[in-house]
Amino acid sequence: MSKRYPTTRGEPRAPETQRASRILEIISKISAAPNQWTRRSLADYYEISERQITKDLQVIRHGLRLELERQPSGGYYFRTLPRLPAVSYSLAEALAIFLAAQAGRRLAGIPHEELSAAIARLRSIMPQEFQALLQDDGATVPPVPRNRHRERILEVLTRAIGARKSVDLIYHPASRPGERTARRVDPYAVVPNAQSWHLIGWCHLRCAVRIFKVDRIEDVTVTDIRFTPDPEFNLNEFLTAGWGVTRGTDQPPEEIVLRFTPTAGRWVAEEQWHPTQRSEWLPDGSLEFRVTVPVTEEFARWVLHYGADCDVIAPAHLRTWLADQSRALLERYSKEASVEAGSLTTARS
């Protein structure tokens, strides 16, 4: 991965917006883990020189007027930090925030230390009767390098969205393995989907709104260029026009009719999959499920997940694709079964 904050003599200086994001992140890290972050460890984490980290720390001390101190061991801590005004929540509001925060811990990309601290504070203000129900289940995302990369990219993107500034991406398209493309994007939103995050924004290369999987973003830089979102763009309408977040660029929505067995139908009927879905229980106990969306790969694989418990009534091209996939699976596993049977016969003889 290319370095995000070049500092070697002769290299271009990092944009001020990028440096500002780093300084805010340093404040967050030191406040979450006092005495643990040294000048050397910060320089290693951001892949920049200790000299540049020293300048960042001076901005924190003198520019932001925060009481940053250093232990003899070299670890930094804040003597005090400004406090935000108190905010009051009803019990229902506090529970909703608590449950949302707990769910966020299971999705890589959200800063773990800050979220854990927020959850602990929310739990502490709950009535005593709720404490047993709100015990920490310990379900968190491990801090592996991939998750740290995702967290860093998301932090830069969310700051760019808040500032309404374009970003430059180095991106790896899924359709062209091994290829790296440079994109300038006006970031509109980042949204979670399944176990990943996606950036939605105006792509200057394609001159259209596009979706970028965050894990395929190798590097991102905030530019100094401010943008105005398309006034006709509606995020909710954009998301509900497809199934999930991936979609074909030229595929119009079409009515899809699926028939599920009674067992699978009970699972499908319990969920609100899409605003256009319509379900009807048939006399034989099966469930007829209708939805109007583009037939994307994401949708086709959702149908394939149900295997023989789902029968595609329409459209014909989706039924044909699933039939081809089923034949390919049968051929593959038939060959493996033949090889295993032959090996077993040889062993017995």
Task: Sketch out the chain's domains with CATH numbers.
Answer: 16-78 (1.10.10.10), 91-134 (no CATH), 145-240 (2.30.30.520), 244-349 (no CATH)
In the numeric block, which tokens belong to residue 309? Answer: 């418990």
Name which of 94, 85, 88 is nearest 126 in CA terms: 94
Residue 26 in contact with residue 56, Cβ under 8 Å?
yes
Cβ pair 295, 243 in contact under 8 A: no
Residue 235 — pLDDT band, cuts 50, 70, 90? confident
247 has pLDDT over 90:
no
pTM for the complete prediction? 0.53
Q: Please say whether the beta carbons of 217 and 174 come within 8 A.
A: no
Q: Which whole number is the average pLDDT over 263-288?
A: 91
Using CB atoms within 10 Å of the CB of residue 78, give its burial: 0 to 12 exposed, 13 to 18 middle, 19+ buried: middle
Mean pLDDT of 187-199: 83
**Mean pLDDT, residues 127-138 taken together:** 59
Q: Which one, of 229, 141, 231, lies nearest residue 189 by Cα?
A: 229
Question: Among candidates 36, 32, 26, 29, which has minimal Cα distance to 63?
Answer: 26
Q: Nearest to residue 193, comparing CAs of 241, 246, 134?
A: 246
pLDDT for 57 equals: 94
3-class DSSP state for residue 173?
coil
Q: Distance between CA atoms of 224 and 232, rounded to whole angstroms?
A: 24
Tokens for 344, please give them.
Answer: 């077993």
Query: Rounded to whole angstroms, how far apart are CA atoms 102 and 98?
Result: 6
**Predicted confidence (pLDDT) per residue in 52-72, tens digit:** 999 999 989 888 888 999 999
pLDDT confidence bin for 14, thresholds 50/70/90: very low
The rounded distance, in Å, linking the Cα atoms of 193 and 184 is 23
pLDDT digits (tens, 9 = 90+) for 308-343: 899 999 999 999 988 888 888 888 888 766 656 555
Residue 296, pLDDT above cutoff 60: yes
Rounded average pLDDT over 167-171? 94
**Strand ranges in the chain using DSSP code E only, listed in sequence order:** 68-70, 76-78, 165-171, 181-193, 196-203, 208-213, 217-226, 254-260, 278-281, 287-293, 310-314
